[in-house]
Chains A and B, each alone.
Chain A
Amino acid sequence: MNSERRVAAVALLLALTLVGCGVGKGDQGSSLTVSAASSLKDAFTQYAEAFSDGEVKLQFAGSNALATQIRQGVRPDIFAAANTELPQELFAAGLVERPIIFAGNRLVIAVGRDAMKVKSLADLSARDITLAIGAAGVPVGDYTAKVLSRLPSVQRAAILNNVRSREPDVGGIVGKLSQGAVDAGFVYITDVEASGGRLKAIELPPALEPHVAYGVAVVKGSAQHKQAETFVAGLLDGGGQRALAGAGFEPPPAGAR
């Protein structure tokens, strides 16, 4: 009988713990949840650590996966994407407040530190080259598609023929590159800088370079509205802007919305 009581007590305790965790909305009161593009990882992590206006919880993934979460009812406080289209779409759908552009970046060809096979864009269409690029719909994949669309069709087909993996976010491309699984990939210049020398960048001809701009918006109905606005403001002028510049991001393009 004693042991039965003990079982019951343990069960009750477990149930209470579960209830405690599950409904524990109260402790989110002071922390800010930020859904951000994978490529913002280093800059945002650094900014969040220095952010004085409360605790910041960060989640990183492909911008389009994060946008889908928001469409499905997930409510972070801030959404920061590696393009301007996704925040604009969510704004049009009434899910986020008016987005602003807070940074620019550059798409480059990245290769392993000791790679000899790829020295320029022209080498990407060679026979024995392997490539990893972003999947369609992921910003880095769409920028890559834009670059390729500006090439002659024969060269474009040859490059696409060398693609071995279409990754769901830019982190996957960096991973494949640093493991030597592929010879080259299209990533942002900031990813190469963050690799600590494991990767090196080959710049694209200016005529081919896509216009890479990052949009950020406060998610509608955020309980931490003031904090969220402070966080966004800091991206333009303050700790966030410094962290972005330190990670190699460019200021938002002039004349941006």
Chain B
Amino acid sequence: MSSGKHGWFACLLVLALSVTLTFLFLPIVAIFVDSGPAQLLSTLGDPSSLEALRLSLECSSIAVAIIVVVGTPAAYLLATRNFRGRALAVTVVELPLVLPPAVAGIALLAALGPNGLLGPALQDAGITLVLQTAAVVIALTFVSAPFYVRQAQSAFGAVDRTWMDASRTLGASEARSFLRIAIPAALPGLGAGLALAWGRALGEFGATLMFAGSFRGITQTAPLAIYEQFGTNFTAALGLSAVLVAISGALLLTVKLFGGQAALGRVES
């Protein structure tokens, strides 16, 4: 193969990447160009925007915490054991990824709404979820959990088996090996999954609106506030969008840096 023949392919790759980057980045740049720093600052002074941001951060943090605590061991099981129905379990975990948010909202109502599958049981127990902050957390957890669990599963899958075997031969229990070997080794992957899940949770709109409704301070997260302002005050909507982009971007970057360092640390030690 001559280099000329590779030349056009390399050009194609560069072209494809340029198109991808321009397409993905231009709208985000436009938010900041259109809003400007003054608008950003005035957003931070607007109580309803601040309340929405606070609620978004709180609810997404709780959702991500639940996902990490339950999802990590679940992903470990999926990654390290072969059992009947494993393929089915993996598919079920991945299903919310391909569900439109509106379907997620309908599904949550059908399961946990007052007229839903578990509605009467919840009612008997005196638990109301719909239109409460708890419903926001449930919606966020539902849509973003797969992002973490999938990533965690492949991170655990990539951990060198010989380390785990060595740890077990040296007398460590499986739980100890999981905590001391598997988790540190998989940390960069877990971090990346966490960032994706958190970002998805921060951006959740459709399922939240349908299942949790939109009420300032209780269920109106930042994306819902943006949509409400879109109809009344476009510049305020732009300002809040910019703040949300900045927060999500910072989150992604932090986790990436942290994950990268963890990876480096592991290689050095």
Interface-side segment among A101-109, A160-168, A235-243: A160-168
Chain B nearest CB: distance from A87 CB in Å?
15
Residue on B nearest A71 in the bound complex, by CB: B234
* A132 close to B (CB within 8 Å): yes
Q: Which residues of B contact A137 (CB under 8 A)?
A: 228, 231-232
For chain A, residues 121 to 138, give those with C-beta under 8 angstroms from any C-beta of chain B.
130, 132, 135-138
Whether the Cβ atoms of B114 and A179 lie closer than 8 Å is yes
* A50 close to B (CB within 8 Å): no
Residue on B nearest A11 in the bound complex, by CB: B12
Complex partner residue of B228 from A166, A176, A179, A182, CB under 8 angstroms: A166
Complex partner residue of B231 from A62, A163, A182, CB under 8 angstroms: A62
C-alpha spacing A107/B114, complex, angstroms: 26
* Best-buried of B9, B12, B214, B234 by chain A (most CB within 10 Å): B214
* A64 close to B (CB within 8 Å): yes
* B84 close to A (CB within 8 Å): no
Complex partner residue of B131 from A7, A138, A176, CB under 8 angstroms: A176
* A17 close to B (CB within 8 Å): no
Chain A nearest CB: distance from B227 CB in Å?
6
Over the window 167-186 of chain A, the binary record of Cβ atoms lying under 8 Å from chain B Cβ atoms (1 yes, 0 no) is: 11000100110011110000
Chain B nearest CB: distance from A187 CB in Å?
15
For chain B, residues 176 to 216, give those with C-beta under 8 angstroms from any C-beta of chain A.
209-210, 213-216
Q: Which residues of B contact A68 (CB under 8 A)?
A: 230-232, 234
* B170 close to A (CB within 8 Å): no
Whether the Cβ atoms of A1 and B5 lie closer than 8 Å is yes
C-alpha spacing A172/B227, complex, angstroms: 13
* Best-buried of A71, A130, A136, A168 by chain B (most CB within 10 Å): A168
Whether the Cβ atoms of B228 and A168 lie closer than 8 Å is yes
C-alpha spacing A137/B130, complex, angstroms: 24
* Best-buried of A67, A136, A138, A176 by chain B (most CB within 10 Å): A176
C-alpha spacing A187/B267, complex, angstroms: 63
For chain B, residues 219 to 269, give those with C-beta under 8 angstroms from any C-beta of chain A.
219-220, 227-228, 230-232, 234
Chain B nearest CB: distance from A171 CB in Å?
11
Complex partner residue of B216 from A1, A11, A166, A176, CB under 8 angstroms: A166
Chain A nearest CB: distance from B136 CB in Å?
12
A175 and B219 contact, Cβ closer than 8 Å, known pairs A168-B231, A182-B131 = no
Whether the Cβ atoms of B231 and A181 lie closer than 8 Å is no
Q: Which residues of A contact B231 (CB under 8 A)?
A: 62, 64-65, 67-68, 135, 137-138, 168
Q: Which residues of B contact A208 (CB under 8 A)?
A: none
Over the window 73-116 of chain A, the binary record of Cβ atoms lying under 8 Å from chain B Cβ atoms (1 yes, 0 no) is: 00000000000000000000000000000000000000000000
Q: Which residues of A contact B113 (CB under 8 A)?
A: 179-181
C-alpha spacing A62/B209, complex, angstroms: 14
C-alpha spacing A130/B12, complex, angstroms: 58
Residue on B nearest A175 in the bound complex, by CB: B210
Q: Which residues of B contact A167 (CB under 8 A)?
A: 209, 213-214
* A153 close to B (CB within 8 Å): no
Chain A nearest CB: distance from B226 CB in Å?
11
Q: Which residues of B contact A136 (CB under 8 A)?
A: 232
C-alpha spacing A136/B232, complex, angstroms: 8
Residue on B nearest A130 in the bound complex, by CB: B131
C-alpha spacing A168/B214, complex, angstroms: 8
Residue on B nearest A178 in the bound complex, by CB: B115
Chain A nearest CB: distance from B83 CB in Å?
37
Chain B nearest CB: distance from A138 CB in Å?
6
Complex partner residue of A8 from B1, B12, B130, B213, CB under 8 angstroms: B12
Given contacts A163-B215, A165-B215, A167-B213, 8 further A-B contacts (CB under 8 A): A4-B9, A138-B231, A166-B220, A167-B214, A176-B131, A179-B113, A181-B114, A181-B130
12 A-B residue pairs with Cβ-Cβ distance under 8 Å, sorted by A, are: A4-B9, A65-B231, A67-B231, A136-B232, A164-B131, A165-B215, A166-B213, A167-B209, A176-B130, A180-B113, A181-B131, A181-B213
